[in-house]
Amino acid sequence: MAPIMIVGVPREVAPGERRVALAPDVIPAFIRMGMKVLCEAGAGVAAGFVDAMYVERGATIAPSRGDLFRASGVIVQIQAPSMAGAPAAEDLRLLTRDHVVIAQCDPLGSPDAVRRLAETGATVFALELIPRITRAQAMDVLSSQASLAGYKAALLAATRATRQIPLMMTAAGTIRAARALVIGAGVAGLQAIATLRRLGAVIEAYDVRPAVREQVESLGAKFLAIGLTAKDAEDRSGYARAMDDSFYQAQRDLMSGAVAGADIVITTAAVPGGRAPVLVTESMVRAMRAGSVIVDLAAARGGNCECTRADEDVDVGGVLVLGPTNLPATIPADASTLYARNVAAFLAPLLREGRVTIDRSDEVVAQSLLCQGGRVVHHRVCELLGLPCGPDATGDGAAPSTSGSRAAETSE
């Protein structure tokens, strides 16, 4: 592979995407790696970063998007060109075998888009596939973005509910604290709990993994013990597994009372590449008090609530069901900064004397390498596409786990 000297930062073109893959404050980290940073004009404007801020930190502004792709060896993006659809069609034509793309690619949910990426010949890393291991925590974009999503979900619920959140004693009488239920105690769920607690809510939380009970209780919430736990709830990379239909039905039956008693419900349960499990049925929604709010963070995967519609507000008998699909993009400055730090932490170990090296014995590389040499090389994605998986395929089983595992995330 030709020496890689320039990191290109295009403007994101997916509808509603306000983040940028590299925030100005993180540019010095790339320069210390021996890289030059080239940004498309206006790449960070939607996140509050004007071009002058990039120039001040050492970046150069490219004359055009085409010039950026032609000059750059590494392209860093929030969403890979194949995910952005028609607005990024030209980007796919600009990618070549000399490019390394580091981005979110939705590889398990959109395998056909991965095929289109592979056809460009570029070497592609999918940041969603980075294993949940201790050594890779600083690279984990899902966790950094989920934390912001959980925070914003709590604020969204608080502003849309008809009740105030904290207990308040007034001369006119006492207003009780709002009751909240958080389903899924992964990164997003835990951050939602912490935020709601700071706002003064009385919180219950549920997760299929009893091991997270201590984390839930440490944040001041009550762990909802419904006498139902899932064996093998996570895969070897630390991501949630899908359960069978009978498990989810039993879960709904046992949780219905908690949902009915809540003023706010935040759901976060997602399985990478699959449809989100339906945990809250329409009948459960109708049993809630009018004025209550459900924020479904799994809306992009079909939703945990039967009434959810992606990026829509749905009124069900006076209960408001919100289905935001990209909450981190509503906090674009901080989301972009965290994302850029994740990318810097991922890229640094790959660089050797100005070149990106592909060491498949490294677990992080083996799990996240998606395309190389014109082929899809990730084992799980090959299976989804019905492609043969050669002996050099990456993905699950490609490299032994050598680091301490982290708790599975029930949310993205």
Catalytic residue list: 132, 137, 140, 143, 239
User: Hey, which bits of 139-284 come out as E strands?
Assistant: 168-170, 173-175, 179-183, 202-206, 222-223, 264-267
- Exposure string of 323-338, with b = 16+ CB inside 10 Å and e = fewer, is bbbbbbbbbbbbbbbb
User: Hey, which bits of 116-227 come out as E strands?
Assistant: 123-126, 168-170, 173-175, 179-183, 202-206, 222-223
User: Cβ of 39: how many Cβ atoms within 10 Å?
Assistant: 27
User: Cβ of 174: how many Cβ atoms within 10 Å?
Assistant: 9
Cα separations (Å) of 317 from 278, 290, 302? 19, 7, 21
Distance CA 394, CA 392 (A): 6
Does residue 182 contact residue 205 with C-beta atoms inside 8 Å?
A: yes
* Backbone phi, psi, residue 238, to 5°: 90, 10
In angstroms, the first-to-last Cα distance of the chain is 33
Distance CA 273, CA 295 (A): 21
Instruction: Provide the 3-class DSSP secondary structure of residue 146.
Output: helix
Tokens encoding 328: 């981190």
Tokens encoding 218: 């440490």
* Helix ranges, 261-407 (H): 282-286, 332-347, 363-368, 379-385
Tokens encoding 191: 């951050």
Distance CA 121, CA 100 (A): 10
Does residue 79 contact residue 12 with C-beta atoms inside 8 Å?
A: yes
User: Cβ of 150: how many Cβ atoms within 10 Å?
Assistant: 28
Residue keyed to tokens 């008998």? 317
Instruction: Provide the 3-class DSSP secondary structure of residue 77.
Output: strand
Question: Which residues face 293 on adjacent strands?
Answer: 264, 320
User: Hey, which bits of 262-318 come out as E strands?
Assistant: 264-267, 293-296, 313-316
